[in-house]
Amino acid sequence: MTSEPHTSHADGLTGLGVSPGRTAGPVYRMSPPPTLPADVPPVADPAGEVSAAAAALRFVADELTRLSRQVAGTASEVLDTEAMMAVDPTLADAVARRVDAGRPAAWAVTDAVAEQQEAFAAIGGYIAERAADLADVRDRAVARLLGLPMPGLPAPGEPYVLIAEDLSPADTALLGPRVLAIVTRRGGPTSHTAILAKARGLPAVVGCAGILDLPDATPVSVDGTTGVVSVVAAAAVPEVREAAARDRARLSSLTGPGRTADGRPVPLLLNVGGVADVVADAEGVGLFRTEFLFLDRTTAPTVDEQARAYAEVFAAVPGKIVLRTLDAGADKPLPFLGLATEDNPALGVRGLRVARDHPAVLADQLAAVARAAAETGADVQVMAPMVATAAEAAEFAAAVRSAGLPVAGVMIEVPGAALRARALLEAVDFVSIGTNDLSQYTMAADRTNGELAGLLDPWQPAVLELVARTARAGAAAGKPVGVCGESAGDPLLALVYTGLGVTSLSMSGSVLPAVRASLAARSFADCEYLARLALDAPDAATARRAVAGSVAGAAT
């Protein structure tokens, strides 16, 4: 069974809105990968075929390296890794063997990549996931050898809505300024597509069945909040864009702290991975993901180096900063830790658990944070990822305090921690709910698996109940309960969370104005009513529809 949440309505297609905003434009799909002709030509010049394959792979590597220089962070790393794969001597040897066996260059590359993909799959885990990168290398090399268009982004010569099965990190890294919005058939709320679209402020809908049935150039309107994609008349496109521009102008005219219409404060904080993500318009940082500083490291960063990196971010943030200690493992592999390969890495040694075998990594990080906080005078709070028990929370809080840092919290990402939130809150000063992982673990659905988008939906009543339970525990303890998963940036869920008693919301800077406006238009009692609607709904889609319908009804 797959869990495609997608439904089709007479008025359009519906998927998961994962990055808010409206726009309209013609759809264009990713260019499909090249297909090999049915007839395999004979090999007249084996040496020539081997050198043609090598030249094509070198071309692919050079192209990927060039593209990597245009982007930063994880995106650049993904492209560099792909470039290295393209010129891996093992691949070259395998290609040569296939040519010797009578296969022309393009076929030899295809077979050799298939062989390597099988080997990767057998190793499992993170390595197995690299099989998709190899497929990209193969498609690019085969296109080069056969003189076909490079697979990847279309170039229609006009602004367009990009449609695709799903986008790889390499694709998302390369989106140009002409992309108005993204709609994918697969992909989940925490997929690369969602995170990157939000970072760029592009409306995005994932898990949208039927989107690939639309021919290229079909004009559509896209609503990244409701997830509705509708076919429209070409003449209506400018109208939708103008209305969207008016929406944006209205949103950006609202400034100031987050609060409901009746003045209940809901601080709006930022999720950042570095200084580039800090925007002036927020009340502080609710999630500083420190692992981004270390993703490409093969040796442990020194306390000095870390202190410098943290101080740079601390100095750029006006309000409080919640720094998360390293969240290594599973979807965030950090080579310098040399973590063992595991059968189920998402359930393995990750997050705070890494500190069991590497206590010095946590101690060094806390020492560096304390130094940077002292140097900059910033209001720094520290929290741990992937905490499962009250004992872990207490141990972490003790480590934070003994490093001289006054405020310690933990993330609620594991259902066991949400169920025991009261006990955890006795040990720490605050908690922050990571709905990306909380959804994954509550629904037993791998967050990197786009097929499971429907289960991963943070509107799932089971996930909302755990958020509600955690918020109640916070209220009882008189301690803050934030949400810092991607879902906090959903203007409708932000209302629901507020109604459940969540005390702050942390999100990417680009979605903050929409959340601010959404809160400003409703009273706290409205939010409580919407929270009840969502909690009482039998499933995620009904919950979203009920809340969206009530909000739209109130607005008219």
CB of 291 to ligand PEP, least distance (A): 8
Cβ 487 vs Cβ 432: under 8 Å: no
Alpha-carbon span 310 to 324, nearest angstrom: 11
- Count of residues of this chain found to bind ligand PEP when the rule CB under 6 A is applied: 10
Is 287 a binding residue for ligand PEP by CB under 6 A? The answer is yes
Alpha-carbon span 409 to 321, nearest angstrom: 12
Tell which residue, 489, 499, 491, has the closest CA to residue 531.
Answer: 499
What is the footprint of ligand PEP within residues 412-441 (CB under 6 A)? 413, 434-437
Grouping H, G, I as helix, E, B as strand and the rest as coil, residue 457 is coil
**Is 192 among the residues known to form the active site?**
yes
CA distances from 359 to 27, 335, 434, 493 (A): 51, 17, 24, 37
DSSP annotation string for 305-317: HHHHHHHHHHHH-
Instruction: State which residue, 260 or 435, has the beta carbon closest to ligand PEP.
Output: 435
484 binds, among ligand PEP, Mg ion, none (CB under 5 to 8 A by kind): ligand PEP
Is 327 a binding residue for ligand PEP by CB under 6 A? The answer is yes
Instruction: State which residue, 260 or 365, has the beta carbon closest to ligand PEP.
Output: 365
**Is 484 among the residues known to form the active site?**
yes
CB of 447 to ligand PEP, least distance (A): 8
139 binds, among Mg ion, ligand PEP, none (CB under 5 to 8 A by kind): none
Strand segments, DSSP code E, in 263-379 are: 268-272, 284-289, 320-324
Pick from 188, 224, 454, 485 the residue near ligand PEP by CB under 6 A. Answer: 485
CB of 525 to ligand PEP, least distance (A): 28
Instruction: State which residue, 435 or 550, has the beta carbon closest to Mg ion.
Output: 435
- Residue at token pair 């909040």: 225
110 binds, among Mg ion, ligand PEP, none (CB under 5 to 8 A by kind): none
185 binds, among Mg ion, ligand PEP, none (CB under 5 to 8 A by kind): none
Please report how many Cα atoms fall inside a 13 Å half-sphere around the Cα of residue 138, on the Cβ side: 24
Mention every residue, 6+ apart, whose C-beta is less than 8 A from residue 140: 60, 63, 64, 86, 150, 151
CB of 271 to ligand PEP, least distance (A): 7
CB of 441 to ligand PEP, least distance (A): 9
Interaction pattern, residues 422-451, with Mg ion; x per rule: CB under 5 A: ------------x--x--------------
Q: Which of 6, 192, 208, 358 is catalytic?
A: 192
Instruction: State which residue, 437 or 490, has the beta carbon closest to ligand PEP.
Output: 437
CA distances from 402 to 109, 363, 367, 396 (A): 56, 10, 10, 10
Alpha-carbon span 45 to 554, nearest angstrom: 73
Determine how many CB atoms are found less than 10 A away from the CB of residue 507.
Answer: 26
Q: So which residues are the catalytic ones?
A: 192, 484
Residues that bind ligand PEP (CB under 6 A): 287, 289, 327, 413, 434-437, 484-485
